């Protein structure tokens, strides 16, 4: 019997931001190697980036089983030979699935997670990047940030609405994120202004 169940989920923001993120990724990612995406969400980014970033290998992940189903469904719908099945990774874990499976990672990509998760997820992300990345390995972050007095008013309002939904969420101070990264041996390299008051933030492993 044919099944009409389709687990693909949709996050409209991915279609708006993916082209701009891709431009930065093409410039900052190593030209080859395994790229681990932490918090892949629906998987729409994973199918888009894997197609456009060959010959790099793309490893999506998410701790939410329904989202891993969505990633797998997107992968089935738009297969790409360099897109791997979704891994179950919660950034807070002390050992990630790629470590258990012995997969060497050249870069980590994390989009729109650290403001929509507890601060411990950001700390876990930095610890994982510090453990996994080789020297000069890349950690790429995308999302909204507080930048002291230069914080966009829309990001202050977004911060309030996030905290209203969950007191552990919130738009983070860029300097706190950089300090957390430095503690794990990750050097801040650059920030790139992106549409809708978001930033791309790039770190290298020392
Ligand atoms: C707003 S969504 C962003 C998803 C996707 N990157 C995007 O841009 O559409 C936040 C994601 O963070 C994931 N997430 C939350 N806490 C996490 C954690 N501790 N470790 C890894 N991922 C986490 C959620 O499951 C969800 O997929």
Total number of domains constituting the chain? 1
Helix (H, G, I), strand (E, B) or coil at 114: coil
Domain span at 62: 12-205
Per-residue pLDDT tens over the stretch 66-79: 999 999 999 999 99
Helix and strand totals (H; E) in the chain: 7, 7
The pLDDT value recorded for residue 1 is: 53
Between β-strands 198-205 and 186-194, what pairing exists: parallel, antiparallel or unpaired? antiparallel
- Which residue is it, tokens 């507890």? 118
Q: The tokens of 117 are what? A: 């998760």
Q: Do the domain assignments include residue 2?
A: no
Q: How far is the CA of 75 from the centre of ligand 1 (A)?
A: 18
Prior bond to 55 cis, omega within 30? Answer: yes
**Whether the predicted pLDDT of 64 surpasses 70:** yes
User: What secondary structure letter does DSSP report for 33?
Assistant: S
| 7 in any annotated domain | no
Q: Is residue 1 part of a domain?
A: no
Which of 9, 21, 39 to mutate to test ligand 1, by most ligand atoms within 8 A of the CB atom?
Answer: 39
| Confidence check: pLDDT of 171 > 70 | yes
Mutate which of 113, 143, 161, 170 for ligand 1 pocket (most atoms within 8 A of beta carbon): 113
Q: Across all residues in the chain, what is the average pLDDT?
A: 97
Determine the distance separating the centroid of ligand 1 and the alpha carbon of 112, expressed in angstroms. 7
The answer to the question of residue 29 being in a domain is yes
Q: How far is the CA of 66 from the centre of ligand 1 (A)?
A: 12
Reported as a pLDDT band with limits 50, 70 and 90, residue 163 is very high
Asked if residue 106 is part of any domain, the answer here is yes
Mutate to test the pocket of ligand 1, among 58, 92, 117, 199 (most ligand atoms within 8 A of CB): 117
Give dist(CA 3, CA 146) in Å, integer: 46
CATH number of the domain at 164, please: 3.40.50.150
**Does residue 28 carry a pLDDT above 80?**
yes
> Mean of the pLDDT values across residues 48-67?
98
Q: What pLDDT digit, counting tens, does each position of 104-134 carry?
A: 999 999 999 999 999 999 999 999 999 999 9
Q: The tokens of 100 are what? A: 């258990």
């Amino acid at each position: 019997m044919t099944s009409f169940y389709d687990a693909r989920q949709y996050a409209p923001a991915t279609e708006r931001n993916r082209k701009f993120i891709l431009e930065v990724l093409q410039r900052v990612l190593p030209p080859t190697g395994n790229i681990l995406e932490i918090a892949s969400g629906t998987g729409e980014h994973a199918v888009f980036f894997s197609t456009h970033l060959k010959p790099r290998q793309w490893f999506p992940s998410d701790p939410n089983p329904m989202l891993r189903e969505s990633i797998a469904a997107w992968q089935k719908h738009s297969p790409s030979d360099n897109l791997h099945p979704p891994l179950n990774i919660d950034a807070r874990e002390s050992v990630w699935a790629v470590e258990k499976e012995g997969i060497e990672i050249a870069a980590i990509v994390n989009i729109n997670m650290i403001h929509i998760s507890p601060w411990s997820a950001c700390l876990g992300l930095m610890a994982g990047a510090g453990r996994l990345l080789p020297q000069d390995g890349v950690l790429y972050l995308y999302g909204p940030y507080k930048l002291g007095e230069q914080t966009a008013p829309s990001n202050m309002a977004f911060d309030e609405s996030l905290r209203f939904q969950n007191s552990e969420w919130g738009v983070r101070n860029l300097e706190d994120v950089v300090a957390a990264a430095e503690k794990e041996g990750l050097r801040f390299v650059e920030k790139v202004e992106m549409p809708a008051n978001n930033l791309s933030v790039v770190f290298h492993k020392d």
